[in-house]
Amino acid sequence: MNSYLRVSDEVEEAIRLKKPVVALESTIISHGMPYPQNVETALTVERIIREQGVVPATVGIISGTLIAGLSQSEIEHMGKNASQVRKVSRRDLPVVVSRKQDGATTVATTMIIAKMAGIRFFATGGIGGVHRGASQSFDISADLMELAETEVAVISSGIKSILDIKATLEVLETQGVTVLSYGCDRLPAFYLRDSGLAVDARVDTPEELAAMAYAKWGMGMKGGLLIGNPVPPEYEEQKGRIDAAISLALEEMEADHISGKEATPFLLKRIKDLTNGESLNTNIQLVYSNAKLAAQVAKAYSRYL
Ligand code: PSU
Ligand code: MN
């Protein structure tokens, strides 16, 4: 095991015994949700995974050490002291590690650390993608490149329409990332169950998702899979309301000249405020649902090991 990585005892034992493990990210904790809901959500997600008989591994960086399996107090630190915790994507890793800083891991970085630890499945809310206006700004999340590179399957509710969903799917296709949707023919759009855009295949059982991951990696192919899991219908947002909030947040972002790594956290916070916090509940519920599905897929996959 590499000297930069610390795997908790529980996670290490599960991996050694070939028991199922699900990785979780920490940017959603430090920069995706406000305190204290962020900490509550992170701890509840771990409980949901355990209820499935699967071990959760929340990933983050503490004093420059990459960690798979943050403790409860480390999760609380990530959520409470978010301003001291840098958002870390692939390019930031050498800086934060050598300076021994704290870091919240994005989808890209969580995939990198999950792979180092030997974890194949990862649940989150939404991934990064191609930003609207990317033909000018070139703002395309490193998450997409990571999905092409790193052997981890990501279970999410797709991407928000703060992004250009169509362009995101094109980039994923170009890079050979398998994009699947659970119980639906189209990719979900985070707050909404249907983006209107088709995925590579609809899949209806965790066993079939596990079989596809096993086939991909069994062939020795590099890279991950992206699984879209629509938010449970009772928590779906109203389309008109969420679209209006997203449009306004995008206008404000342009007016305030916000770009780069600040873009996603800014938009998430503004959309929450513009919906009087109601979008946050949708966000929380979809993460719970993704955690449960990821645990089921990890369990199905472990039967191959
Ligand atoms: N999308 C969400 N919530 C989030 C993120 C994305 O709906 O919290 C976070 C994830 O950690 C993702 C990151 O990896 O934002 C993408 O940031 P960027 O666009 O700067 O690559
Ligand atoms: Mn970006």
Instruction: Please report, for the chain, the start and end positions of each structural domain, with discontinuous segments joined by +.
Output: 1-119, 126-305
Ligand 1 centroid–CA 304 distance in Å is 31
What is the mean pLDDT of the segment spanning 81-108?
A: 98
pLDDT at 246 over 80: yes
In the chain, DSSP finds a helix count (H) and a strand count (E) of 13, 11
pLDDT at 148 over 70: yes
What is the mean pLDDT of the segment spanning 198-210?
A: 98
CA distances, 5 to each of 43, 54, 63, 150 (Å):
22, 21, 12, 17
pLDDT at 161 over 90: no
pLDDT at 293 over 90: yes
- Kindly report the protein residue whose alpha carbon is nearest to atom 21 of ligand 1: 141
Point out the least confidently predicted range of 72-81, 116-125, 274-283.
274-283
Catalytic residue among 87, 115, 160, 272: 160
pLDDT at 100 over 90: yes
- Kindly report the protein residue whose alpha carbon is nearest to atom 10 of ligand 1: 106
CA 49 to chain CA centroid, nearest Å: 15
| Token couple for 216 | 């991909």
pLDDT at residue 229, rounded to an integer: 98
Rg (CA), the chain: 18
- Catalytic site residue 278? no
Asked if 1-119 and 126-305 have one fold, the answer is yes
* CA atoms of 277 and 302, how far apart (whole Å): 38
CATH T-level fold of 126-305: Indigoidine synthase fold (3.40.1790)
- Catalytic site residue 76? no
pLDDT at 41 over 70: yes
CATH classification code of 1-119: 3.40.1790.10
| Token couple for 145 | 């490149």
What is the mean pLDDT of the segment spanning 212-219?
A: 98
pLDDT at residue 1, rounded to an integer: 65
**Mean per-residue pLDDT of the chain:** 97
